[in-house]
Amino acid sequence: MSGAPEPSESAADKPPRVRLVEGQEVSLGCGTLILIALIVLIFGRGGTGDLEREVRGLRSEVGELKQAVETQTGQIEALQDKLDQAQARE
């Protein structure tokens, strides 16, 4: 017999332990950890709806700005053509 007692479970078989207060430990099993992960997953996505709406709004505004730029570009080209014609007459 050796002096050290033999553990009944290996360290790999034991669930992780979390120390709450000095001398107190809580054992978290696999099911508990999965439940915590699911709760975080479900409630962690709370702000994504607002973010998606904001992105859609920004995309819409970018589309409007592109259309305005195209309109102004056409107007500038028309003015440039008129200016070129006026200079050609002189």
Instruction: Give the 3-state secondary structure of 36-58.
Output: HHHHHHHHHCCCHHHHHHHHHHH
Residues 15 and 27: beta-carbon distance below 8 Å: yes
The structure tokens 């992960």 sit at 37
Instruction: Give the pLDDT confidence score for residue 8 in this predicted structure.
Output: 54
Question: Which amino acid does the sequence have at 74?
Answer: G
Q: Give the H/E segment covering residue 25.
A: strand 25-27
pLDDT > 80? residue 1: no
Q: Check: pTM over 0.85? Answer yes or no.
A: no
Q: pLDDT class for 78, splitting at 50, 70, 90?
A: very high
Q: Give the H/E segment covering residue 26.
A: strand 25-27
Mean pLDDT score across all residues of the chain? 80
If one compares 48 and 30, the residue with the highest pLDDT of the two is 30
